[in-house]
Protein backbone atom coordinates (compact mmCIF):
# COMPACT_ATOMS: atom_id res chain seq x y z
CA UNK A 1 0.00 0.00 0.00
CA UNK A 2 2.78 2.47 0.85
CA UNK A 3 4.68 1.46 -2.24
CA UNK A 4 1.53 2.05 -4.31
CA UNK A 5 1.25 5.57 -2.88
CA UNK A 6 4.90 6.27 -3.69
CA UNK A 7 4.43 5.14 -7.27
CA UNK A 8 1.32 7.36 -7.44
CA UNK A 9 3.52 10.25 -6.33
CA UNK A 10 5.90 9.42 -9.17
CA UNK A 11 3.00 9.31 -11.65
CA UNK A 12 1.71 12.74 -10.55
CA UNK A 13 5.20 14.17 -11.05
CA UNK A 14 5.31 12.69 -14.53
CA UNK A 15 1.87 14.19 -15.31
CA UNK A 16 2.96 17.64 -14.15
CA UNK A 17 6.07 17.49 -16.35
CA UNK A 18 3.98 16.14 -19.21
CA UNK A 19 1.44 18.98 -19.09
CA UNK A 20 4.22 21.53 -18.78
CA UNK A 21 5.96 20.17 -21.88
CA UNK A 22 2.70 20.02 -23.82
CA UNK A 23 2.51 23.80 -23.60
CA UNK A 24 5.56 24.46 -25.75
CA UNK A 25 6.00 23.49 -29.44
CA UNK A 26 9.49 22.01 -29.13
CA UNK A 27 8.61 19.69 -26.28
CA UNK A 28 4.92 19.00 -26.88
CA UNK A 29 5.25 15.53 -28.35
CA UNK A 30 7.52 14.29 -25.60
CA UNK A 31 5.13 15.84 -23.09
CA UNK A 32 2.28 13.78 -24.44
CA UNK A 33 4.41 10.64 -24.34
CA UNK A 34 5.44 11.41 -20.76
CA UNK A 35 1.79 11.81 -19.77
CA UNK A 36 0.96 8.48 -21.42
CA UNK A 37 3.82 6.89 -19.45
CA UNK A 38 2.42 8.37 -16.23
CA UNK A 39 -0.96 6.86 -17.03
CA UNK A 40 0.60 3.48 -17.73
CA UNK A 41 2.49 3.53 -14.42
CA UNK A 42 -0.68 4.55 -12.56
CA UNK A 43 -2.78 1.78 -14.09
CA UNK A 44 -0.19 -0.98 -13.57
CA UNK A 45 0.43 -0.17 -9.93
CA UNK A 46 -3.31 0.11 -9.22
CA UNK A 47 -3.72 -3.50 -10.36
CA UNK A 48 -1.78 -4.46 -7.20
CA UNK A 49 -4.32 -2.68 -4.98
CA UNK A 50 -5.59 -5.11 -2.38
CA UNK A 51 -9.20 -4.16 -3.08
CA UNK A 52 -8.84 -5.64 -6.55
CA UNK A 53 -9.57 -9.33 -6.42
CA UNK A 54 -11.14 -10.21 -9.74
CA UNK A 55 -9.38 -9.47 -13.02
CA UNK A 56 -11.68 -10.89 -15.73
CA UNK A 57 -13.81 -7.77 -16.20
CA UNK A 58 -10.77 -5.52 -15.91
CA UNK A 59 -8.94 -7.28 -18.73
CA UNK A 60 -12.07 -7.44 -20.89
CA UNK A 61 -12.80 -3.75 -20.32
CA UNK A 62 -9.27 -2.65 -21.15
CA UNK A 63 -9.17 -4.78 -24.30
CA UNK A 64 -12.54 -3.48 -25.55
CA UNK A 65 -11.79 0.14 -24.65
CA UNK A 66 -8.29 0.07 -26.18
CA UNK A 67 -9.59 -1.46 -29.40
CA UNK A 68 -12.31 1.18 -29.79
CA UNK A 69 -10.03 4.05 -28.78
CA UNK A 70 -7.15 2.98 -31.01
CA UNK A 71 -9.42 2.33 -33.99
CA UNK A 72 -11.08 5.74 -33.66
CA UNK A 73 -7.72 7.50 -33.20
CA UNK A 74 -6.24 5.83 -36.31
CA UNK A 75 -9.25 6.43 -38.53
CA UNK A 76 -10.10 10.02 -37.70
CA UNK A 77 -9.36 12.67 -40.30
CA UNK A 78 -6.93 15.41 -39.27
CA UNK A 79 -9.64 17.99 -39.91
CA UNK A 80 -12.05 16.23 -37.57
CA UNK A 81 -9.80 16.38 -34.49
CA UNK A 82 -11.94 18.67 -32.30
CA UNK A 83 -14.94 16.35 -32.74
CA UNK A 84 -12.82 13.36 -31.86
CA UNK A 85 -11.50 15.03 -28.72
CA UNK A 86 -15.10 15.91 -27.78
CA UNK A 87 -16.15 12.25 -27.97
CA UNK A 88 -13.15 10.99 -26.01
CA UNK A 89 -13.83 13.67 -23.43
CA UNK A 90 -17.48 12.63 -23.19
CA UNK A 91 -16.44 9.05 -22.45
CA UNK A 92 -14.01 10.27 -19.77
CA UNK A 93 -16.71 12.30 -18.04
CA UNK A 94 -19.15 9.41 -18.34
CA UNK A 95 -16.58 7.08 -16.77
CA UNK A 96 -16.27 9.35 -13.72
CA UNK A 97 -20.04 9.36 -13.27
CA UNK A 98 -20.04 5.57 -13.57
CA UNK A 99 -17.29 5.22 -10.96
CA UNK A 100 -19.39 7.23 -8.49
CA UNK A 101 -22.52 5.23 -9.35
CA UNK A 102 -20.58 1.97 -8.98
CA UNK A 103 -19.35 2.99 -5.54
CA UNK A 104 -22.89 3.97 -4.52
CA UNK A 105 -24.16 0.54 -5.60
CA UNK A 106 -21.20 -1.32 -4.09
CA UNK A 107 -21.84 0.02 -0.62
CA UNK A 108 -25.27 -1.60 -0.84
CA UNK A 109 -26.75 0.25 2.11
CA UNK A 110 -26.06 3.89 1.24
CA UNK A 111 -26.97 4.87 4.82
CA UNK A 112 -23.58 3.43 5.73
CA UNK A 113 -21.88 6.18 3.74
CA UNK A 114 -20.63 9.28 5.50
CA UNK A 115 -22.12 12.63 4.46
CA UNK A 116 -18.93 13.74 2.75
CA UNK A 117 -18.93 10.61 0.58
CA UNK A 118 -22.49 11.28 -0.52
CA UNK A 119 -21.64 14.87 -1.43
CA UNK A 120 -18.70 13.77 -3.57
CA UNK A 121 -20.72 10.94 -5.16
CA UNK A 122 -23.43 13.47 -6.04
CA UNK A 123 -20.93 16.00 -7.43
CA UNK A 124 -19.05 13.37 -9.39
CA UNK A 125 -22.28 12.17 -11.03
CA UNK A 126 -23.38 15.76 -11.65
CA UNK A 127 -20.17 16.96 -13.32
CA UNK A 128 -19.46 13.67 -15.08
CA UNK A 129 -22.94 13.51 -16.60
CA UNK A 130 -22.88 17.13 -17.79
CA UNK A 131 -19.54 16.39 -19.47
CA UNK A 132 -20.92 13.23 -21.05
CA UNK A 133 -24.00 14.67 -22.78
CA UNK A 134 -22.45 18.11 -23.33
CA UNK A 135 -19.52 16.58 -25.21
CA UNK A 136 -21.81 14.56 -27.47
CA UNK A 137 -23.85 17.66 -28.29
CA UNK A 138 -20.59 19.49 -29.10
CA UNK A 139 -19.63 16.58 -31.36
CA UNK A 140 -23.05 16.66 -33.04
CA UNK A 141 -22.78 20.39 -33.68
CA UNK A 142 -19.33 20.09 -35.25
CA UNK A 143 -20.40 17.11 -37.37
CA UNK A 144 -23.59 18.86 -38.43
CA UNK A 145 -25.93 16.24 -36.92
CA UNK A 146 -27.29 19.06 -34.78
CA UNK A 147 -27.76 22.61 -36.02
CA UNK A 148 -24.57 24.61 -35.56
CA UNK A 149 -26.66 27.68 -34.89
CA UNK A 150 -27.43 28.62 -31.32
CA UNK A 151 -30.64 26.87 -30.26
CA UNK A 152 -32.32 29.13 -27.75
CA UNK A 153 -35.62 29.72 -26.04
CA UNK A 154 -36.69 32.65 -23.86
CA UNK A 155 -35.46 32.52 -20.29
CA UNK A 156 -32.98 29.77 -21.14
CA UNK A 157 -30.12 31.00 -19.01
CA UNK A 158 -32.39 31.43 -16.00
CA UNK A 159 -33.90 27.99 -16.58
CA UNK A 160 -30.45 26.38 -16.74
CA UNK A 161 -29.34 28.27 -13.65
CA UNK A 162 -32.42 27.03 -11.76
CA UNK A 163 -31.74 23.45 -12.87
CA UNK A 164 -28.13 23.74 -11.69
CA UNK A 165 -29.19 25.07 -8.29
CA UNK A 166 -31.90 22.39 -8.18
CA UNK A 167 -29.36 19.59 -8.69
CA UNK A 168 -27.14 21.01 -5.95
CA UNK A 169 -30.18 20.99 -3.64
CA UNK A 170 -30.77 17.38 -4.64
CA UNK A 171 -27.16 16.54 -3.71
CA UNK A 172 -27.97 18.04 -0.31
CA UNK A 173 -31.14 15.93 -0.14
CA UNK A 174 -29.18 12.76 -0.97
CA UNK A 175 -26.71 13.60 1.78
CA UNK A 176 -29.57 14.11 4.25
CA UNK A 177 -31.41 10.96 3.16
CA UNK A 178 -28.95 8.53 1.51
CA UNK A 179 -31.66 5.89 1.06
CA UNK A 180 -33.52 8.15 -1.37
CA UNK A 181 -33.26 6.48 -4.77
CA UNK A 182 -35.41 9.28 -6.14
CA UNK A 183 -32.84 11.96 -5.23
CA UNK A 184 -30.06 9.83 -6.73
CA UNK A 185 -31.79 9.28 -10.06
CA UNK A 186 -33.00 12.88 -10.28
CA UNK A 187 -29.39 14.08 -9.95
CA UNK A 188 -28.34 11.69 -12.69
CA UNK A 189 -31.21 12.60 -15.01
CA UNK A 190 -31.12 16.37 -14.57
CA UNK A 191 -27.32 16.42 -14.96
CA UNK A 192 -27.56 14.54 -18.27
CA UNK A 193 -30.21 17.03 -19.38
CA UNK A 194 -28.10 19.99 -18.23
CA UNK A 195 -25.22 18.91 -20.43
CA UNK A 196 -27.55 19.08 -23.44
CA UNK A 197 -29.22 22.34 -22.43
CA UNK A 198 -26.00 24.23 -21.70
CA UNK A 199 -24.30 23.37 -25.00
CA UNK A 200 -27.33 23.69 -27.33
CA UNK A 201 -27.47 27.52 -27.10
CA UNK A 202 -23.81 27.85 -28.11
CA UNK A 203 -22.91 28.35 -31.78
CA UNK A 204 -20.91 25.76 -33.72
CA UNK A 205 -18.01 28.14 -34.27
CA UNK A 206 -17.50 28.34 -30.49
CA UNK A 207 -17.40 24.57 -30.02
CA UNK A 208 -13.58 24.33 -29.57
CA UNK A 209 -13.87 26.61 -26.54
CA UNK A 210 -16.78 24.56 -25.22
CA UNK A 211 -14.85 21.32 -25.68
CA UNK A 212 -11.93 22.84 -23.80
CA UNK A 213 -14.25 23.84 -20.96
CA UNK A 214 -15.87 20.39 -20.92
CA UNK A 215 -12.37 18.95 -20.78
CA UNK A 216 -11.78 21.01 -17.66
CA UNK A 217 -15.07 19.61 -16.27
CA UNK A 218 -14.03 16.04 -16.95
CA UNK A 219 -10.83 16.69 -14.99
CA UNK A 220 -12.94 18.01 -12.13
CA UNK A 221 -15.25 14.98 -12.40
CA UNK A 222 -12.24 12.66 -12.19
CA UNK A 223 -11.03 14.56 -9.15
CA UNK A 224 -14.44 14.18 -7.47
CA UNK A 225 -14.36 10.46 -8.29
CA UNK A 226 -11.00 10.46 -6.49
CA UNK A 227 -12.70 11.85 -3.38
CA UNK A 228 -15.36 9.12 -3.68
CA UNK A 229 -12.89 6.24 -3.69
CA UNK A 230 -10.29 8.13 -1.65
CA UNK A 231 -7.49 7.99 -4.22
CA UNK A 232 -4.78 10.68 -4.28
CA UNK A 233 -3.61 10.10 -7.84
CA UNK A 234 -7.14 10.62 -9.11
CA UNK A 235 -7.71 13.75 -7.01
CA UNK A 236 -4.41 15.35 -8.06
CA UNK A 237 -4.46 14.49 -11.77
CA UNK A 238 -8.11 15.49 -12.04
CA UNK A 239 -7.41 18.82 -10.35
CA UNK A 240 -4.41 19.43 -12.62
CA UNK A 241 -6.50 18.90 -15.74
CA UNK A 242 -9.41 20.86 -14.31
CA UNK A 243 -7.22 23.90 -13.61
CA UNK A 244 -4.99 23.70 -16.70
CA UNK A 245 -8.10 23.15 -18.86
CA UNK A 246 -9.71 26.27 -17.43
CA UNK A 247 -6.62 28.36 -18.20
CA UNK A 248 -6.48 26.98 -21.74
CA UNK A 249 -10.18 27.76 -22.20
CA UNK A 250 -9.48 31.31 -21.15
CA UNK A 251 -6.51 31.58 -23.53
CA UNK A 252 -8.72 30.33 -26.38
CA UNK A 253 -11.40 32.91 -25.54
CA UNK A 254 -8.80 35.68 -25.46
CA UNK A 255 -7.53 34.58 -28.87
CA UNK A 256 -11.04 35.32 -30.19
CA UNK A 257 -11.31 38.59 -28.27
CA UNK A 258 -14.22 37.17 -26.31
CA UNK A 259 -14.95 36.49 -22.68
CA UNK A 260 -15.91 33.01 -21.49
CA UNK A 261 -19.25 34.34 -20.24
CA UNK A 262 -19.95 35.76 -23.67
CA UNK A 263 -19.19 32.41 -25.32
CA UNK A 264 -21.33 30.42 -22.87
CA UNK A 265 -24.33 32.71 -22.55
CA UNK A 266 -24.06 35.05 -25.54
CA UNK A 267 -25.82 32.58 -27.88
CA UNK A 268 -24.05 33.53 -31.06
CA UNK A 269 -21.34 32.31 -33.39
CA UNK A 270 -23.42 29.96 -35.50
CA UNK A 271 -22.01 28.38 -38.62
CA UNK A 272 -23.57 31.04 -40.80
CA UNK A 273 -22.22 34.01 -38.93
CA UNK A 274 -18.76 32.58 -38.34
CA UNK A 275 -17.16 34.74 -41.02
CA UNK A 276 -18.59 37.97 -39.64
CA UNK A 277 -16.69 37.52 -36.38
CA UNK A 278 -17.61 38.96 -33.01
CA UNK A 279 -20.27 41.62 -33.26
CA UNK A 280 -19.95 42.98 -29.75
CA UNK B 1 -13.06 13.82 8.73
CA UNK B 2 -9.31 14.37 8.63
CA UNK B 3 -9.25 12.22 5.48
CA UNK B 4 -11.56 14.69 3.75
CA UNK B 5 -9.52 17.70 4.91
CA UNK B 6 -6.34 16.06 3.67
CA UNK B 7 -7.97 15.33 0.31
CA UNK B 8 -9.17 18.94 0.09
CA UNK B 9 -5.63 20.15 0.74
CA UNK B 10 -4.16 18.15 -2.13
CA UNK B 11 -7.09 19.09 -4.38
CA UNK B 12 -6.56 22.81 -3.83
CA UNK B 13 -2.77 22.62 -4.08
CA UNK B 14 -2.93 20.53 -7.26
CA UNK B 15 -5.37 23.06 -8.73
CA UNK B 16 -2.86 25.85 -8.10
CA UNK B 17 -0.17 23.81 -9.83
CA UNK B 18 -2.52 23.27 -12.76
CA UNK B 19 -3.20 27.00 -13.04
CA UNK B 20 0.53 27.73 -13.15
CA UNK B 21 1.42 25.03 -15.66
CA UNK B 22 -0.18 26.69 -18.65
CA UNK B 23 0.70 30.13 -19.92
CA UNK B 24 1.12 31.70 -23.35
CA UNK B 25 0.34 28.68 -25.48
CA UNK B 26 0.71 29.36 -29.24
CA UNK B 27 -2.63 28.93 -31.07
CA UNK B 28 -1.38 25.92 -33.07
CA UNK B 29 -0.93 24.05 -29.80
CA UNK B 30 -4.43 24.78 -28.43
CA UNK B 31 -6.04 21.63 -29.82
CA UNK B 32 -3.15 19.23 -29.06
CA UNK B 33 -2.86 20.58 -25.51
CA UNK B 34 -6.59 20.23 -25.00
CA UNK B 35 -6.42 16.72 -26.40
CA UNK B 36 -3.44 15.72 -24.24
CA UNK B 37 -5.02 17.13 -21.08
CA UNK B 38 -8.21 15.32 -22.00
CA UNK B 39 -6.34 12.02 -22.20
CA UNK B 40 -4.96 12.64 -18.70
CA UNK B 41 -8.49 13.17 -17.40
CA UNK B 42 -9.03 9.54 -18.36
CA UNK B 43 -7.11 8.84 -15.12
CA UNK B 44 -10.56 8.06 -13.78
CA UNK B 45 -9.75 4.59 -15.17
CA UNK B 46 -7.98 4.05 -11.83
CA UNK B 47 -11.32 4.41 -10.05
CA UNK B 48 -12.98 2.15 -12.61
CA UNK B 49 -10.37 -0.57 -11.98
CA UNK B 50 -11.11 -0.54 -8.25
CA UNK B 51 -14.88 -0.74 -8.81
CA UNK B 52 -14.67 -3.51 -11.41
CA UNK B 53 -12.10 -5.51 -9.47
CA UNK B 54 -14.00 -5.81 -6.18
CA UNK B 55 -16.31 -8.74 -5.55
CA UNK B 56 -18.75 -7.33 -2.97
CA UNK B 57 -21.44 -6.48 -5.43
CA UNK B 58 -21.91 -7.93 -8.88
CA UNK B 59 -23.97 -5.08 -10.33
CA UNK B 60 -21.34 -2.56 -9.19
CA UNK B 61 -18.73 -4.70 -10.95
CA UNK B 62 -20.68 -4.41 -14.19
CA UNK B 63 -20.91 -0.63 -13.79
CA UNK B 64 -17.15 -0.69 -13.15
CA UNK B 65 -16.64 -2.66 -16.34
CA UNK B 66 -18.52 -0.02 -18.35
CA UNK B 67 -16.47 2.67 -16.64
CA UNK B 68 -13.25 0.88 -17.66
CA UNK B 69 -14.38 0.71 -21.29
CA UNK B 70 -15.32 4.40 -21.31
CA UNK B 71 -12.14 5.53 -19.56
CA UNK B 72 -9.88 3.34 -21.72
CA UNK B 73 -11.40 4.81 -24.89
CA UNK B 74 -10.57 8.23 -23.44
CA UNK B 75 -7.02 7.31 -22.46
CA UNK B 76 -5.88 5.22 -25.45
CA UNK B 77 -7.72 7.29 -28.06
CA UNK B 78 -6.72 10.55 -26.40
CA UNK B 79 -2.98 9.92 -26.25
CA UNK B 80 -2.95 8.44 -29.75
CA UNK B 81 -4.73 11.36 -31.48
CA UNK B 82 -2.58 13.84 -29.57
CA UNK B 83 0.51 12.06 -30.82
CA UNK B 84 -0.83 12.08 -34.38
CA UNK B 85 -1.50 15.81 -34.19
CA UNK B 86 1.92 16.61 -32.76
CA UNK B 87 3.69 14.34 -35.23
CA UNK B 88 2.20 16.37 -38.06
CA UNK B 89 3.13 19.54 -36.27
CA UNK B 90 6.75 18.53 -36.14
CA UNK B 91 6.90 17.56 -39.81
CA UNK B 92 5.45 20.93 -40.73
CA UNK B 93 8.11 22.64 -38.66
CA UNK B 94 10.87 20.77 -40.45
CA UNK B 95 9.46 21.68 -43.85
CA UNK B 96 9.47 25.31 -42.85
CA UNK B 97 13.14 25.24 -42.02
What are the structural domain ranges in chain B? 31-97
In this predicted structure, the answer to whether residue A138 has a pLDDT above a threshold of 90 is yes
- In this predicted structure, what is the pLDDT of residue B2? 66
DSSP A23: T
Interface test with A, best of B5, B73, B96 (most A CBs within 10 A): B73
Domain borders along chain A are 79-272
pLDDT digit string, tens, across residues A69-124: 999 999 998 888 899 999 999 999 999 999 999 999 988 766 667 778 889 999 99
User: In this complex, do B89 and A25 lie within 8 Å of one another by their Cβ atoms?
Assistant: yes
Average pLDDT, integer, range A47-54:
87
Using a 10 angstrom Cβ sphere, with 0-12 exposed, 13-18 middle and 19 or more buried, the burial of residue B55 is exposed
CA distance A114 to chain B (A): 9
Nearest to A32 among B55, B63, B86 (CB): B86
pLDDT digit string, tens, across residues A209-229: 999 999 999 999 999 999 999
Higher pLDDT, B36 or A277: B36
CA distance A172 to chain B (A): 17
High-pLDDT (> 90) share of chain A, %: 62
Residues 6 or more apart whose CB falls under 8 angstroms from that of A92 comprise A131, A218, A221, A222, B38, B41, B42, B44, B70, B71, B74, B78
Going by pLDDT thresholds of 50, 70 and 90, the confidence category of residue A41 is very high
* HSE-CB of A158 using CA atoms within 13 angstroms: 3
Q: What is the mean pLDDT of chain B?
A: 88
Amino acid sequence: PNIIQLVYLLATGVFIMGIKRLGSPATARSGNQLAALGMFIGVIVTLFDQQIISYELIIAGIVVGSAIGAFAAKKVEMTAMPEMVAIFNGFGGGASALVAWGEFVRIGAPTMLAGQDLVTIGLSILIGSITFTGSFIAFGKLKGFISGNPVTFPGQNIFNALLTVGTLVLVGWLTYDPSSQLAFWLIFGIALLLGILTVMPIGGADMPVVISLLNSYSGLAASMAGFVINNNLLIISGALVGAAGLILTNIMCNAMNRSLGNVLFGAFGGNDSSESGPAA
Amino acid sequence: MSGLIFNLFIFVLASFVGFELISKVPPTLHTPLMSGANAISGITIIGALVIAGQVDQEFAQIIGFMAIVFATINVVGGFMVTDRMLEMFKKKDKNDE
